[in-house]
Amino acid sequence: MANSGITFNPDRLKLNQWRFHAFLLPLTSFMALPLIFLFNHAFKPYSELFAYPPRFFVRKPTAENFIRLLTFSRESGIPISRYIFNSVITTSAVIVLTLIIGSAAAYALSKLEFKGKELLNKINVFSLMFVPVAVMIPRFLVLINLGIYNTYWAHIIPLLAMPIGIFLIKQFMDTNVPKELIEAAKIDGAGNWRIYWSIALPLVKPAIVTVAILVFQTSWANQEGSSLFVDIEALRTLPFYMSTVISQQGNIVVTAGVGAASQLIMLVPNLLLFVFMQNKVMASMATSGIK
């Protein structure tokens, strides 16, 4: 492929780029203030948590809030590692299964011709209007009839239907997977599954990564499964425990630091995944296409 002359990582910034960065840097710093405050708040001792006037930055950082969080977990009879294990298992399963089901459905709706295709497309778009609360009772009845109440599947199955994921991947396939390429593959003897796996998926990596981030954020922070579909404490996930740790102790003053530590623990995986995957999205956007 001929060199297009486009440089994605220039060694020097031009004058107009410096002006653009001069505008973005203050805006980025302002948007980062909540994150900086949360990091500082989680390491504040009691004397600084309730200081007046409130202090933005911690002066004497301590890990006491995290130690108390672990202590509360041990006193409840179930270690916090159990909640973390449950969250990792269910979130990983949701990500893998959602990407497989969503990408396969998107390929069928985008590139295959069959009766009822337009109707299914409209149903998927219309389903974006429904909030989780509206389908809470039907989900509960389905889980009961399937016999997966009080199991790990109760956390996984309700999250597999992700209309926004199918919609995003389908839109990307419509514009980035040309019909001529599929027709050429069929002439060479490739079937639909081979085309889907070897041609369509590599060309829609940015959409796959974006949906993976959305699925992780949805599953990692989900409390619906633990509060509605599971009543065995050992099967509940980390978000549910973190949301109830303060109310369990009954003293908001004592648990203020613990609450800040729990919020930080819930945030860090989302932050790290977002930063890491954003680089993958940019790299995929720069290198994807027909060679």
DSSP 53: S
Per-residue pLDDT tens for 54-108?
A: 788 888 888 888 888 888 777 777 888 899 999 999 999 999 999 999 999 999 9
Q: In this structure, what token pair is assigned to residue 265?
A: 């623990």
Burial class (CB in 10 A: 0-12, 13-18, 19+), 277: middle
CA distance linking residue 108 with residue 104, whole number of Å: 6
Task: Select from 282, 120, 104, 121 the least CA-distant residue to 195.
Answer: 104
Q: In this structure, what token pair is assigned to residue 65?
A: 């809030």
CA distance linking residue 240 with residue 157, whole number of Å: 18
- Determine the pLDDT at residue 250: 54
- Determine the pLDDT at residue 262: 85
- Angle subtended at Cα 268 by Cα 264 and Cα 269, rounded to the nearest 5 degrees: 135
- Determine the pLDDT at residue 280: 63
Q: Mean pLDDT in each 10-residue stretch from start to end of the chain (291 residues)? A: 45 67 81 87 83 83 85 78 92 95 93 91 88 84 91 93 89 88 90 91 88 91 90 90 71 71 87 77 49 42
Structural domains for the chain: 64-287 (1.10.3720.10)
First-to-final CA distance of the chain: 7
99, containing H or E segment? helix 80-111
- Determine the pLDDT at residue 151: 93
98, containing H or E segment? helix 80-111
Q: Record the pTM.
A: 0.82
- Determine the pLDDT at residue 41: 86
- Determine the pLDDT at residue 247: 66
Q: Position 114: which residue type?
A: F
CA distance linking residue 13 with residue 24, whole number of Å: 14
- Determine the pLDDT at residue 2: 42
Per-residue pLDDT tens for 5-17?
A: 444 455 565 666 7
- Determine the pLDDT at residue 93: 96
